[in-house]
Structure formats: C-alpha cells, structure tokens
Amino acid sequence: MLPLQQHELLEILVALADSDDAEIAAAAKETLQSETEEDLLIAASADDTPSSVLAYLATQPGARVKLYEATILNAKTPDAALAKLAAATSHGPLLELIAINQQRLVRAPEIIEAILANPARTGEAERRARETRKEFFEKERGARQIADELRARGQTAAAEFFETAELTTPGGDLSLDDAWLIAQHIEVSDDDIDDSWLPAERYAELISETPEQTAANLQRVLEHERLESGEVSAERVSLIRRIMFMNTKDRMKLAMKGDREARGILVRDANKVVCSAVMNNPRITEQEVENIAGMRTISDEVLRLIAMNRGWARNYPIIHNLARNPRTPIPTVMNILTRIRTKDLNGISQNRNVSETVRRQATRLAQARGGE
C-alpha cells in the first residue's frame, strides 16, 4: 500500500520475509509470490536492484530459467547466492552460464566447488570450473608452498621468483621437480634488480610462444652451446631443456635473477628481451661479458648493449673481442676501432671472418698510426 518504487518494495518484502514474526514473514512471502514474472525479471536485470533482492531471486526454488539467467548475469548478485544456485540447480546450461564468469569464480571459489559437486553439470561447465581452479588456486598454492619452503631454507631470492613467476610451459605447468631445479639457479633478490632498462612498449615482445617456437629456441641454444663449448653433458642438456620450456616472461625474470649457469643459457635465447635481461643481471661479471663479447652465436642486440656500457667499454679484452666478432654491428665496431691497439688492428685487418668494411678501416687506422 506504500507509494514505493518496485525495487524498494521488493527490498522491504524480502527483509520482512525473514522476520521473526511468523505472521509478518508469511504475509511478505505471499506478496512476493504474487509478483508477476515480468516484474521479477525486470528486477533481476536492473542495475539498481538491491543485492538482497537479487539473492532472493537467485535462490528461490521453482523459478523460471530466464529469471535465474538474469540474476547470474547481474554483477550485483551476491556470490554466496550464486554458489547456492550452482549447488541446487538441475539445469546444466545455468551451470555453464555461471562458469563463464571466471572473475566471479576466482573471487568466490565456493562456486567452483558447487559446480563440480553438482551431478547436473555439463562437460563445458566442468571444464571451465576445473581450469579456473587449476590456474588460480592449485598453481598458486603450489608456487606458494615452494616459496615458503625456499624462505625457510634462506633462499629468499628464489622464493621471490616463485611468488611472481607464472610457471607455465607450452605443454602446461612446470613440474615440482623442474621448479626445484630452477630454484637452485636463482641468486639475485628483487631489491637488487633495476628493470628501468625495459620500456613498457617492449613487453609486447614477451607474448606467448607456440610449442614450435619453443622447440626451435631450445634447439638453437643447444646447437650454440655445442659450437662454443663442444660436447654438452646430459645434466646440462636437462637444465637447458627445463629453462627453455619456461614461458618468455619467466625466462626474462630468471635472466635477471639467475646465477652464472642460468645466464650462460639465457644469453643465447632467441627472444631479444630475454637475452638483454642477462646483460642487466647485477651479478654478471666482466669475465662473463668478455666471453660473451667473443661468442659468434650471440645476438647482435647483446653485443650492442655491451659496447654501450661505459664500464665494460673501458675493459680492453671486452672491446677487442667485440671488434673482431663478426656478429657485432658494423657501426658499433667502427666506434670501437679507434681504441684498439695497433698490433690488434693489424690482426683485424687480416681477419677474413670480419666484414671487408671493418678490415679496411682497421688497415687505415693502423697505417695512420705507423705514419704511412
């Protein structure tokens, strides 16, 4: 009898239906049941409908499917109400509709359990619920357990890595054995990392790889290892395989936090952001950089980064290796040659592995110094 808007009236009736006074509660329920299906459907779809009303509509037995659908699609419907609906409904398509909203499932994992426990669930509803549980709860729980164990062992840097890593591979998730092995090769704490070298626009280069790209990258690294070092031990092949099957984001993080062995693998990565991250690892030594500067299987991006680093550029063995490395970009070599000793310039001028442009410039510089 009160001059109330429909959603206000429904809110009051729902509240009265829970009254301790049995007579008032019964009257309120009777009035609610007399509401037309059209009015209830409008309320279930409206943005201004109180959450208590939406919860009532979602959990009332015997309602029309359209009404349940409207409450499922309404963002204001309480999660607890949809968990009850997911547990009680015998209509499989409704469970599919609930399962589509991954954000809600992550926020309220009890909905996932209700879907999986409902014998009316469809294959699609079950698939979505299981995938969400695995992606956001099982994997997260596994990573957290590893991180906690690593912290207990005093391996803080490794624990930090596992708290932020995605730990996925083209074939699924990293196994626990793989995760533990990789943990032994992490030595740099988050506090020691400076990621200002990576502008936001380059994150696009860390997009997911296809299994074929991952396999090709693995073979590339293994071939380069054999070219540089000769026979590669089975133990190292196993480590390379585990690392190279991590996704690109995790490989980049490992490149910045990993030890010498991890750096030696990832500096050969085909992804330029990953191999560049190695050169921004705060633990990398000048001896490592000297060796990298002489590698003929390394990315020209890495060689350019070495030449641009003022500290490394003062190290003569490093710039000498860069100057005679055929992979070093020609403009970079030209800038370096003026700092190369005359004896070494003569060697470069006769080195058939470097470009003719570099050989000619080395010859001119050597002759100028000799007064010719």
pLDDT tens sequence across 81-123: 999 999 999 999 999 999 999 889 988 989 999 999 999 999 9
- Does 279 fall in a domain? yes
Question: Do 71 and 122 lie in a common domain?
Answer: yes
Classify residue 275: in a domain, yes or no: yes
Do both 262 and 319 map to the same domain?
no
Residue 59 is assigned to a structural domain of this protein: yes
Q: Which two tokens stand for residue 18?
A: 């829970």
Among 114, 136, 158, residue at a domain's last position: 136
The whole-angstrom distance between residue 133's C-alpha and the CA centroid of its chain comes to: 17
More confident residue, 18 or 84: 84
Tell me the residue range of the domain where 264 lies. Answer: 209-283
Its pTM surpasses 0.95 = no
CA angle 32, 38, 44 (to 5 degrees): 70
- Does some domain include residue 170? no
- Examine the pLDDT at 42 and tell me if it is beyond 80: yes
Residues 242 and 336 in one domain: no
Q: Which of the two residues, 372 and 49, has the higher pLDDT score? A: 49
Q: Is the pLDDT of residue 79 over 70?
A: yes
Rounded-to-integer distance, Cα 248 and Cα 274, Å: 7
Q: What pLDDT, on a 0 to 100 scale, did the predictor assign at position 4?
A: 60
pLDDT at 310: 93
300 plus 240 within the same structural domain: no
Tens of pLDDT, residue by residue over 267-284, are 999 999 999 999 999 999
Helix, strand or coil, per DSSP, at residue 142: helix
What pLDDT does 341 receive?
A: 94
Is there a domain that residue 175 lies in?
no
> Do the domain assignments include residue 88?
yes
pLDDT on residue 40: 81
Distance CA 194, CA 37 (A): 61
- Which of 96-105, 159-168, 234-243 has the weakest average pLDDT? 159-168
Residues 29 and 88 placed together within one structural domain of the fold: yes
User: Model confidence over 315-358: pLDDT tens digits?
Assistant: 999 999 999 999 999 999 999 999 999 999 999 999 999 999 99
Quote the pLDDT of residue 334: 95
Whether residue 261 is contained in a domain is answered as: yes
What's the structural domain count of the chain? 3
Shared domain for 17 and 124, answered yes or no, is: yes
Domain boundary among 81, 113, 136: 136
- pLDDT of amino acid 371: 55
Query: Ranked by mean pLDDT, which of 158-162, 205-209, 362-366 comes out on top?
Result: 362-366
Average pLDDT, the chain: 88
190-211: pLDDT as tens digits: 889 988 888 877 878 888 788 8
Least confident interval from 109-113, 225-229, 243-247, 315-319: 225-229
Q: What is the mean pLDDT of residues 165-180?
A: 73
What percent of the chain stands above pLDDT 90?
53
CA distance 104 to 73: 11
pLDDT computed for residue 48 by the predictor: 86
Tell me the range of 9-23, 169-183, 256-270 where mean pLDDT is highest. Answer: 256-270
Q: How far is the C-alpha of 356 from the C-alpha of 369, rounded, in Å?
A: 20
Same-domain pairing of 33 and 95? yes
Are 232 and 312 part of one and the same domain?
no
Does residue 33 lie in a domain region? Answer: yes
Give mean pLDDT, residues 7-35: 77
User: Could you tell me if 267 and 346 lie in one domain?
Assistant: no
pLDDT at res. 339: 94
Query: Is pLDDT of 173 > 60?
Result: yes
Residues 271 and 297 in one domain: no
Residues 213 and 236 occupy one common structural domain: yes
Final residue of a structural domain among 257, 283, 309: 283
Contact 97, 72 (CB under 8 A): yes
- Give me the mean pLDDT over the 168-176 stretch: 69
What's the confidence (pLDDT) of residue 142? Answer: 66
Lowest-confidence region among 21-25, 127-131, 348-352 = 21-25
43 and 130 co-located in one domain: yes
Give the pair of three-digit tokens for residue 63.
């309602």
**What's the mean pLDDT in 283-306?**
95
Q: What are phi and psi of 186, to 5 degrees?
A: -115, 125
How many Å apart are CA 71 and CA 313, to the nearest integer? 66
In this prediction, residue 23 carries a pLDDT of 83
